[in-house]
Amino acid sequence: MFVDELGFAFGWISPEPAFMRRCSHAVAAGGRVWVIDPVWDEAALERVTQLGEPAGVVQLLDRHDRDCARVAERLGVPHHVVPETPPAGAAFEIVPVLRRKRWHEVALWFPEPRTLVTADAVGTATYMRAPRERLAVNPLLRLTPPRTLLAVEPQHILVGHGEGVSEDAPAALRDAVTRARANALHWLWAGFRAHGPFGTHRR
């Protein structure tokens, strides 16, 4: 399923596991194409080569192996695992997100065309969002939201779980980060109603 059709970029969502809405992206910038956190998909890889010359595969999260190495081999490009500095000639900047023993994550900031690409820190998958949230901080980070993301003001936000956000993206990002803690109970209650012992969608 193709999503985030932006002309210079596109994404694809893996059908399994459906609830996770695992999304991969290809972004063209500076005359080259960067493939980000990819899950193998033949049709998507064909489109990557149509978008431009592949430059590399970037893995934004240490546990987001997905099919990164396999895709890099198929395209004949380097596989960059949670890079702390951009590869030579890359048209993006690295935004530090989190560095813990079992969670090392970065985001990519493309100044032109003002696009932020994230892995797990924020997303739009249903299991991440409280009611009325368009974009949400990962439930495990709600009490310590990734404020480093607020250093940029994106026109587009591409996420690793769910479709991206392009409508009033700066406000969506600001609300997600600054209200993450305040909305934690709303997220928890919504999840309990949907999946708890009194919910209607227990199976």
From residue 200, alpha-carbon distances to 98, 186, 191 in Å are: 36, 18, 11
- How is the chain split among helix, strand and coil, in percent rounded to 5? 25, 30, 45
Alpha carbon distance 112, 98 (integer Å): 24
CB atoms within 10 A of CB 22: 21
Q: What is the pLDDT of residue 189?
A: 60
Domain 2-195 CATH (choose: 3.40.50.300, 3.40.50.720, 3.30.565.10, 3.60.15.10): 3.60.15.10
So where are the chain's domains? Answer: 2-195
Q: Structure pTM?
A: 0.92
Q: How far apart are CA 49 and CA 201, in angstroms?
A: 42
- In this predicted structure, what is the pLDDT of residue 191? 57
HSE-up of residue 180 (Cα within 13 Å, Cβ side): 22
Residue (of 147, 17, 114) closest to 137 by Cα position:
147
Would you say how long the chain is, in residues?
A: 203
Could you list the pLDDT tens digit for every one of the 203 residues in the chain? 999 999 999 999 999 999 999 999 999 999 999 999 999 999 999 999 999 999 999 999 999 899 999 999 999 999 999 999 999 999 999 999 999 988 999 999 999 999 999 999 999 999 999 989 999 999 999 999 999 999 999 999 999 999 999 999 999 999 999 999 999 888 876 654 454 443 433 23
> What pLDDT score does 37 carry?
98
- By CB atoms closer than 10 A (0-12, 13-18, 19+), residue 100 is exposed
Structure tokens at 160: 């690793």
What per-residue confidence (pLDDT) applies to 190?
62
